[in-house]
């Protein structure tokens, strides 16, 4: 039954979260864009007066059972031979107009990713998304000193993966210090333990014996040998990545692209000029970008120009915490609550998780491919990513610096509500999984 826009605006809406149908190799179940959720009407919930078809109030419990029933029916109807339902998790909060369903298109083979992290409250947010989204295969996680000393980073990373029920993901310890700089940390932002001082139980998981650079090498080479490529998502100082690309350039065969959190076209955070990850190890950032250009690996910079925009409200964090069970959702909510309390705000950024969103939903970014240099010398500007936004069609023959040899795809804008919803909805769907 079609509904007019006016009527749609007046009737209740619920959201089916996590209704994920795997698309068989022979073709999609529904025609959807390759990124982001698609929404279609669910028949049978189109009462005119803020009520369902049978006159009942749109209370959550009622909507939840209706949604589950409708979702099951639709899933059965749309299913093609070989497809598989990955999860149906229910509804979310009050329902403005109409009942919808979300069907994520999951490629037959989910995209392989590797995260390089300095966990880190917001690295934890990134790990939770990468560990729970069905369109990603998290193949490995490598650790580097940054927000906290590397041993704390390893422990925090294992804690997150254990909460997400991902004991299958190998984790390795990497560089404990920058290439030249003295190691520092950001405990004033991330807490004494580097991950919000939540009092969360210590993990039972252990890192593996390989060094992070070896795990990165082996994962990329294994992908290449299998005819695949992984997407590298560094959300930390680029020390491990610089060492990888210079030591084992052949790994480029197994790398589809690098989507890194770091840098800024505008202003910094560690200093007025420089963003923390690049400031912490500027030489590594310069080497990683240079090596990627040499090896023709495409690079996207998810920097401070977009980093703070996707946020989750404190009230939504409470909802995540209420799931309980010390799983992905509770941990995610506690991380957001920590940031809200520490900075006295009623919402907090998902931070590094935005870089994972950029892998899942690249269309949510506004980008420009721009020349870039890392400032390695400046007294007040060391660690700055100098993004050249001049019009290169002009006469720059008098610029003594010339055009930088490196160009990256720089994120200058983000569909922040879309990314916030992607993060929150994915993790709510994962619920209390441990
Ligand atoms: C970056 O620095 C760290 O504090 C965060 O984890 C993020 O990767 C932001 O500058
Ligand atoms: Ca980080």
Query: Residue 412 C-alpha to ligand 2 middle, in angstroms?
Result: 19
SS3 (DSSP) at 190: helix
C-alpha 76 – ligand 1 centre gap (Å): 44
22-26, 219-223, 226-230, 423-427, range with the lowest pLDDT: 22-26
Q: Which residues of 94-166 form beta strands (DSSP E)?
A: 98-106, 111-117, 136-143
The two three-digit tokens of residue 314, written as one number: 């404190």
Closest residue by Cα to residue 236 from 367, 115, 413 = 115
Q: Is the full-model pTM beyond 0.75?
A: yes
Return the residue whose CA atom lies nearest to atom 9 of ligand 1: 276
Q: Mean pLDDT score of the chain, rounded to an integer?
A: 80
* Local confidence band at 433 (pLDDT 50, 70, 90 cut-offs): low
- d(Cα 126, Cα 136) in Å, to the nearest integer? 12
354 lines ligand 1 (CB under 6 A): no
Quick one: tokens of 92? 């979310």
Burial of 31 (0-12, 13-18, 19+ CB in 10 A): exposed
| DSSP-based three-state secondary structure for 231 | strand
pLDDT at 12: 30
pLDDT on residue 36: 30
Summarised one tens digit per residue, pLDDT across range 353-394 is 999 999 999 999 999 999 999 999 999 999 999 999 887 666
What number is the average pLDDT over the span 225-245? 97
Confidence of residue 85 (pLDDT cuts 50, 70, 90): very low
**Residue 168 burial (CB count, 10 A):** 9
Neighbouring residues of the ion ligand 2, judged by CB less than 5 Å: 118, 120, 123, 235-236, 352
Is residue 164 within 8 A of residue 130, CB to CB? The reply is no
Assess whether the C-beta atom of 420 lies below 6 angstroms from ligand 1: no
Non-local (6+) Cβ contacts of 179 within 8 A are: 239, 242, 281, 283, 284, 287
Distance CA 425, CA 13 (A): 16
Helix axes 121-132, 328-343, angle to 10 degrees: 150
Strand order in the sheet with 255-261: 171-173, 136-143, 111-117, 230-234, 255-261, 299-302, 407-414, 365-374, 385-387
**Which tens digits make up the pLDDT trace of 115-173?**
999 999 999 999 999 999 888 999 999 999 999 999 999 999 999 999 999 999 999 99
Q: Kindly indicate the confidence band of residue 403, based on its pLDDT and cuts at 50, 70 and 90.
A: confident
Tokens standing for residue 266: 């505008």
Q: Is the CB of 116 under 6 A from ligand 1?
A: no
pLDDT for res 430: 72
pLDDT bin (cut points 50, 70, 90) of residue 429 is confident
Q: Which residue, judged by its Cα, is nearest atom 2 of ligand 1? A: 276
| Residue 303 near ligand 1, beta carbon < 6 Å | no
CA of residue 130 to ligand 2 center, whole Å = 14
Judge contact between 106 and 23, C-beta under 8 A: yes
**DSSP-derived secondary structure for 33-78:** -SSS-EEEE-TT---SSSS-TTS----HHHHHHHHHHHHHHHHHHH
364 lines ligand 1 (CB under 6 A): no
Specify the domain boundaries for CATH 3.90.245.10 within the chain.
Answer: 111-310+345-364+413-429
pLDDT at 37 over 70: no
Q: Work out the average pLDDT over 306-310.
A: 98
The residue that leads in pLDDT, 402 or 189, is 189
CB 277 near ligand 1, within 6 Å: yes
CATH number belonging to the domain at 111-310+345-364+413-429, selected among 3.20.20.150, 3.10.290.10, 3.50.50.60, 3.90.245.10: 3.90.245.10
The encoded tokens of residue 212 equal 């992070």
Does the C-beta of 276 come closer than 6 Å to ligand 1?
yes
């Amino acid at each position: 039954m079609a509904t007019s826009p006016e009527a749609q605006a007046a009737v209740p809406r619920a959201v089916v979260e996590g209704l994920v149908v795997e698309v068989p190799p022979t073709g999609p179940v529904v025609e959807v864009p390759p990124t982001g959720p698609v929404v279609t009407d669910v028949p049978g919930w189109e009462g005119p007066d803020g009520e369902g078809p049978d006159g009942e109030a749109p209370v959550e419990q009622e909507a939840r059972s209706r949604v589950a029933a409708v979702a099951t029916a639709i899933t059965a109807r749309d299913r093609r031979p070989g497809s598989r339902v990955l999860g149906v998790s229910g509804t979310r909060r009050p329902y403005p107009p109409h009942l919808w369903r979300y069907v994520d298109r999951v490629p037959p083979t989910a995209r392989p990713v590797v995260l390089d992290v300095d966990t880190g409250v917001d690295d934890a947010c990134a790990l939770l998304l990468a560990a729970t989204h069905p369109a990603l295969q998290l193949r490995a996680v490598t650790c580097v000193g940054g927000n906290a000393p590397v041993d704390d980073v390893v422990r925090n990373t294992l804690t997150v993966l254990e909460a997400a029920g991902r004991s299958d993901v190998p984790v390795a310890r990497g560089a404990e210090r920058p290439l030249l700089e003295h190691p520092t940390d950001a405990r004033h932002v991330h807490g004494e333990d580097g991950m919000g001082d939540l009092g969360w139980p210590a993990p039972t998981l252990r890192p593996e014996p390989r060094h992070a650079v070896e795990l990165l090498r082996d994962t990329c080479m294994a992908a290449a040998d299998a005819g695949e490529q992984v997407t590298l998502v560094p959300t930390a100082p680029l020390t491990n990545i610089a060492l990888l690309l210079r030591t084992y350039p052949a790994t480029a065969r197994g790398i589809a692209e690098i989507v890194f959190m770091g840098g800024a076209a505008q202003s910094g955070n560690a200093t007025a000029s420089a963003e923390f990850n690049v400031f912490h190890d500027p030489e590594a950032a310069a080497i990683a970008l240079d090596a990627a250009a040499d090896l023709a690996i495409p690079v996207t910079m998810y920097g401070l120009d977009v980093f703070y925009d996707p946020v989750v409200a404190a009230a939504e964090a409470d909802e995540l915490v209420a799931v309980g069970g010390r799983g992905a959702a509770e941990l995610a909510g506690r991380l957001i609550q920590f940031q809200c309390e520490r900075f006295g705000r009623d919402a907090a950024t998902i931070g590094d998780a935005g870089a994972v969103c950029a892998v899942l939903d690249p269309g949510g970014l506004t980008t420009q491919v721009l020349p870039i240099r890392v400032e390695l010398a400046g007294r007040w500007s060391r660690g700055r990513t100098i993004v050249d936004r001049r019009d290169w069609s002009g006469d720059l023959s008098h610029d003594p610096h010339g055009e930088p040899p490196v160009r990256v795809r720089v994120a200058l804008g983000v569909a922040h509500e879309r990314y916030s919803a992607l993060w929150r909805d994915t993790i709510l769907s994962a619920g209390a999984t441990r």
